[in-house]
Amino acid sequence: MNFSKAAIACSAMMLLGTSCWAQGELVIYPNDGQSREQQDKDNYECYGWAKQQSGFDPMAPPKASTPPPQQQAAKGGVGRGALRGAAIGGIVDGSDGAKTGAAAGAVIGGVRRRDQLRQQAVAEQQWAQQEAAQYQGGRNDYNRAFAACMEGRGYTVR
pLDDT tens series, the chain, 158 aa = 444 444 454 554 444 444 444 445 899 999 999 999 999 999 999 999 999 999 999 999 888 878 887 776 665 555 565 556 555 555 555 566 666 666 666 667 777 778 888 888 898 999 999 999 999 999 999 999 999 999 999 999 99
Does 143 fall in a domain? yes
Alpha carbon distance 154, 50 (integer Å): 16
The candidate with the shortest Cα–Cα distance to 5, out of 101, 134, 153, 127, is 127
Which residue(s) pair with 157 in the sheet? 28
Does 11 fall in a domain? yes
Structure confidence at residue 66 (pLDDT): 80
Q: Which domain holds residue 45?
A: 3-63+73-157
Structure confidence at residue 14 (pLDDT): 47
In the chain, the number of structural domains is 1
DSSP annotation of 143 reads: H
26 C-beta neighbours (distance < 10 Å), count: 12
Does 68 fall in a domain? no
Alpha carbon distance 87, 23 (integer Å): 58
158 C-beta neighbours (distance < 10 Å), count: 7
Does 118 fall in a domain? yes
Alpha carbon distance 72, 66 (integer Å): 17
Burial (Cβ within 10 Å: 0-12, 13-18, ≥19) of residue 75: exposed
